[in-house]
Structure 1
């Protein structure tokens, strides 16, 4: 029998907790046998004292065992790949990667979440597609993977319920940004959801949880270790989130940009990330190819139209209308114009994300209703030369008043200088 006060005290004092005791503590919390105030106290102790690799593994394993698990690869008789991002501004990567990888003959199955705060959620973006259904049964998801090769769905209520409960508690007790708890939360969902290999996109910078490369490396190694111990193949991409990814920020706007990218006409930075992630997932597949060949096949699928054809089949399979013209549009558009000649030295991701959130494209709380049509498109990015009066960005809003507030906020996110900043790519580092 566990004694929560004893576990809290020992962790507060920096002791390593035995795996069986830690697991039972977490499972008891999932069964409502440990009160929230005691779990909150334990989380705060972890915040200050951390977890050892063995403790993080025990926590992750317990969260996986708290609910059902899915073995997608075993169900369809082939390796199934997955892709996950730690969240950022304008990050619609999975929506483009899925059909590209599937068009190359590799199934991608992903259980995804909704947005909160300035980071958008993949499910919200997909739900801007008229008719699109994110709630599939496990049987429906498996059948769709066999038939179409891609399925992105909502997380089952029975999948890692301990994590869902623990994350909600961390969110209201200022204990979200703890690397072992972030790593165990992400990897418990990946392991329970049944993928055989995963590419983890760890955002770094102004608009990300991880503000520095060093912090991102620590998180990457934690998640890599958890995946390898569980027999999952893992690659971590550390990617730039000092500015928004691509141009579009906002649900329907990001779907349009994902479609453009699958058709071969996406923004350079977003296209590069999509192709890099696709190449690495293809290298993990049953195809027996390396990353370079994976890149060539991904580029071919985009160029010959098979990736877009797969996108259309996927969206129809989940009840949606794949026609970009069916996406909702905001009634008001206002330009953000350059105040002077120069070069874009900086475009703050967080400021843009918050401006779009204020328009109604995201949620401050989990119960908020979002506006799927509103957002912004940033035409000028870091390193671009502009002239006074050029359009830096365009705000898509529900009314003139909210549009003007967003225009002012996004203009403040731009820094126009005389000299160009040092160039850097979207992928900062690869850890695998």
Structure 2
């Protein structure tokens, strides 16, 4: 792999972290996050530090400490560095799964896609163009990112990345060429109410079972989409999500995780901010 050539120490440190149970270690994560980027020659770095049930960092405070650690070490090494601490208790976007997420990414790079995903990409993109000196003000940065999303240059850059890594960039122009599952199944809401919480970890585990099963061949077409987000009002029987699958046995094993991922309540919850803190 190319990253092995760029920063061989990163893989060594990660294997060590696994052996000693230090995957959540802030110093180790800081080293792993920055080593490859700095070795590749980055003069500025923007990092999305996620916390919540969909991350191995479970508390916002731990995520803030990691963000401060990354930016502090970056400054020590004379690099411009910004970190955004973001909430991933519920999934970002409206789907989970390899093929489905690529389709969603293509929509996003056309200036479309789910609002929360658009919001985060816009904020991260604004930080990048300001760090690079392309834009001086917040308004100018927003206009620059929006322009590249709407005029197709962001999508063209995605094609270049795919081609560089040996992939087939033709799928960008025709997403139907991506793997598609043979079957779909709706997960109905068990009662009326508002979506109060979504456990992104449980959801991810269900998708992992659909995609990998008991360790057999990876199924990139499997996953879930049409996710009803926190705050959505539901009637009993309305679909909380649509499950895409090819293997009935894997589906049956994954269903308990999908059902456990949603909690409904009588009152609409207060919306949580997507970006919790900016650290620079």
**TM-score (normalised: structure 1):** 0.60
Q: Do the aligned partners of 1:361 and 1:374 also contact (CA within 8 Å) in 2?
A: no
Match of 1:402 among 250, 263, 275: 250
Q: Do the aligned partners of 2:50 and 2:88 also contact (CA within 8 Å) in 1?
A: yes
Deviation of the 1:346 alpha carbon: 0.5
Mapped partners of 1:267, 1:362: distance in 2 = 29
Q: Do the aligned partners of 1:361 and 1:373 also contact (CA within 8 Å) in 2?
A: no
1:64-103, aligned counterparts within 5 Å? none
Q: Quote the residue 1:251 is aligned against.
A: 98
Tell whether 2:227 aligns with 1:227: no
Match of 1:357 among 189, 208, 211: 208
- Any idea what SS the aligned residue of 1:244 has? coil
Q: Quote the residue 1:428 is aligned against.
A: 276
CA gap of 1:226–1:363, structure 2 versus 1, over 3 A, is farther
- Any idea what SS the aligned residue of 1:223 has? helix
Deviation of the 1:382 alpha carbon: 0.5
Q: Do the aligned partners of 2:191 and 2:236 also contact (CA within 8 Å) in 1?
A: yes
Q: Quote the residue 1:198 is aligned against.
A: 45
Match of 1:209 among 56, 60, 65: 56
Q: Do the aligned partners of 1:363 and 1:370 also contact (CA within 8 Å) in 2?
A: no
Q: Do the aligned partners of 1:334 and 1:404 also contact (CA within 8 Å) in 2?
A: no
Q: Do the aligned partners of 2:54 and 2:199 also contact (CA within 8 Å) in 1?
A: yes
Deviation of the 1:369 alpha carbon: 5.1
Mapped partners of 1:256, 1:363: distance in 2 = 26
Mapped partners of 1:395, 1:197: distance in 2 = 40
| Cα displacement string for residues 268-305 of structure 1 (whole angstroms, at most 9, x for unaligned residues) | 11110011111110111142423331112212222333
CA gap of 1:190–1:346, structure 2 versus 1, over 3 A, is same
Match of 1:175 among 10, 13, 22: 22
Tell whether 2:10 aligns with 1:159: no
List runs of 5+ in structure 1 lacking aligned partners.
1-134, 136-153
Mapped partners of 2:155, 2:9: distance in 1 = 38
Q: Point out the structure with max Rg over C-alpha.
A: 1
Q: Do the aligned partners of 1:331 and 1:399 also contact (CA within 8 Å) in 2?
A: no
Q: Do the aligned partners of 2:210 and 2:247 also contact (CA within 8 Å) in 1?
A: no
Q: Do the aligned partners of 2:6 and 2:40 also contact (CA within 8 Å) in 1?
A: yes
| Cα displacement string for residues 173-232 of structure 1 (whole angstroms, at most 9, x for unaligned residues) | 212221111111211222112212111100011121221121111111111111111121
Mapped partners of 1:363, 1:180: distance in 2 = 34
| Cα displacement string for residues 226-279 of structure 1 (whole angstroms, at most 9, x for unaligned residues) | 111112111100001111111111111110000111112211111100111111
| Cα displacement string for residues 383-424 of structure 1 (whole angstroms, at most 9, x for unaligned residues) | 111111111111111212322332332122100111111112
Q: Quote the residue 2:219 is aligned against.
A: 371
**TM-score (normalised: structure 2):** 0.91
Q: Do the aligned partners of 1:356 and 1:362 also contact (CA within 8 Å) in 2?
A: no
Mapped partners of 1:217, 1:162: distance in 2 = 25
Deviation of the 1:167 alpha carbon: 1.3
| Cα displacement string for residues 344-384 of structure 1 (whole angstroms, at most 9, x for unaligned residues) | 000101000111111125998xxx75321111114201011
Deviation of the 1:316 alpha carbon: 4.6
Mapped partners of 1:293, 1:363: distance in 2 = 50
Q: Do the aligned partners of 1:375 and 1:395 also contact (CA within 8 Å) in 2?
A: yes
Mapped partners of 1:314, 1:190: distance in 2 = 16
Q: Do the aligned partners of 2:13 and 2:28 also contact (CA within 8 Å) in 1?
A: no
Mapped partners of 2:153, 2:218: distance in 1 = 33
Structure 1 window deviating more from structure 2 (317-326 vs 345-354): it is 317-326
